Amino acid sequence: MKTFFLVFLFSLSHVFAQSDQLKFAATIKNRNSDSLLISSSTFQRVVKAAKNGVFNDSFTVKEGAYFLDDGTESTHLYLKNGYDLTMTIDASKFDETIHFEGNGSKENNFLASNALVEEDFVNSLGEKMTDPVFLRKSFEEHLESVNSLLSNGKYDPAFIKNVMDSKRIWMDKSIKSLEVSLNRKTINGLPSPSFKFENFAGGFSRLEDFRGKYVYIDLWATWCGPCKQEIPFLEKLQKKYRTKNIAFIGISIDKPEDAGKWKAMVAKNNMGGVQLIAGKDRQCEFMKIFEVNAIPRFILIDPNGVVVNDQSFFPSMPELQELLDKLVK
């Protein structure tokens, strides 16, 4: 009896030990890296691929939202102890192929599918991105739709609160950023401040290196979803105007320690134009004078170094091609 009781206690403690941890596994086709970073503002965990290529780990987490980053792409996770998650992805079609199985899969499959919905939502905003009133109305309608899906899906109340709180923060930041941008002083018609940033092709590049050409600047970062959505449109513009007197310059504002992610993304996507990274100079005079407080941000400068538009049209906007057709020869 005593032996049975001890075995029972051991089994019980083993069960509780398992429920006190998160079990995470991932199988990634066409993977970008041999390690994954799972992180939040207060947590970091690197999960390495085993010899069979599968990522597998168990660890303790605080219930809430996390990021999963493979060095090139990233996605949202919702984690808590007791979850037993198995994730599959084809990294060549990252967002479109994310799928989860196991305990916790319902919540995380929602986040994966909702990321695609958010892309469509951002793309649908169009001209509303310049009007705080319409932007708020659009966000509120979007949030109401998401809340309805969560409520009807009978998700855990803690998960619903986490998702909705994060979306409200996103809405408030977006509207605040737009208001600040609209209220700031323009420097159109004035000489542009210069810059000297690291070039992906090697060495450093300055604005003066492109004197005699129009310069279309794309301020972006590897973690910026809306920035990535503009890349295909930007590539089309680069091909259309490749023989004209215009230089397309991408300036990443990724942190210096994330320069590797920037290089990997530029290489993987074979990004054209001139690719620079501000790195440790993210707070330089160029950024301060243009008051860069939100991305993506596009700036158009004329051949003499004078600012044509410090809030230029996005590559996806037909107005940009109309403008360039008039300016560029």
Q: Provide the pLDDT for residue 4.
A: 43
Q: Provide the pLDDT for residue 184.
A: 66
Domain boundaries, the chain: 21-181, 196-327
Class in CATH terms, 196-327: alpha beta
Q: Provide the pLDDT for residue 125.
A: 75
Q: Provide the pLDDT for residue 79.
A: 96
Superfamily of domain 21-181: Carboxypeptidase-like, regulatory domain (2.60.40.1120)
Model-wide pTM > 0.75:
no
Q: Provide the pLDDT for residue 284.
A: 77
- Backbone Cα Rg of the chain: 23
284 is catalytic: no
Angle 18-23-25 (CA atoms, 0-180°, nearest 5)? 155
Catalytic site residue from 38, 61, 160, 227: 227
H helix or E strand, kind and range, residue 237: helix 225-240
Q: What is the DSSP secondary structure assignment for residue 103, as one 8-state letter?
A: T
Which residues, other chains included, contact 177 with Cβ-Cβ below 8 Å and sequence gap of 6+? Answer: 293, 294
Contact (Cβ atoms closer than 8 angstroms) between residue 87 and residue 103 = no
Give pLDDT < 70 ranges for the chain. Answer: 1-19, 126-129, 180-181, 183-184, 281-282
The rounded distance, in Å, linking the Cα atoms of 217 and 323 is 15
Q: Provide the pLDDT for residue 13.
A: 43
Catalytic site residue from 122, 164, 224, 284: 224
The rounded distance, in Å, linking the Cα atoms of 11 and 275 is 57
**Helices 225-240 and 318-327, interaxial angle, to 10°?**
40
Residue 66 has a CB neighbour count (10 Å cut-off) of 21
Which residues, other chains included, contact 284 with Cβ-Cβ below 8 Å and sequence gap of 6+? Answer: 195, 278
3-state SS, residue 245: coil
